[in-house]
Amino acid sequence: MRLFFLLKLFLLFSYLNSSGQDMNSNKLSPELTTVKIYPNPAGHNFYVDIYSGAPANAYKVSVVNIIGQVIYRSTALADTKGSTHHQVLLSSDTPKGLYFISIQGQMEDQYVMRLQIE
Q: Is 2 helix (H, G, I), strand (E, B) or coil?
A: helix
Q: How far is CA 54 from CA 15, 58, 101, in A?
A: 27, 10, 21
Number of Cβ within a 10 Å radius of residue 83: 17
The model's confidence at residue 27, banded by pLDDT at 50, 70 and 90, is: very low
Quick: pLDDT tens for 49-97: 988 777 778 889 999 999 999 999 999 988 888 888 999 999 999 999 9
Q: Within 10 Å of residue 43's Cβ, how many Cβ atoms?
A: 12
Q: Which residues pair with 58 in a beta bridge?
A: 77
Return the pLDDT at 54.
74
Q: Please check the confidence at residue 31 and state whether its pLDDT lies above 80.
A: no
The ranges assigned to domains in the chain are 2-117
Cα separation, 29 vs 23, in Å, equals 15
d(CA 59, CA 81): 15
Average pLDDT over residues 26-54: 80
DSSP 42: B
Q: What is the CATH number of domain 2-117?
A: 2.60.40.3080
**Would you place residue 14 in the very low, low, confident or very high pLDDT band (cuts 50, 70, 90)?**
low
Query: Is-contact 66 116, C-beta < 8 A?
Result: no
Instruction: Report the distance separating Cα 103 and Cα 40, nearest Å.
Output: 16
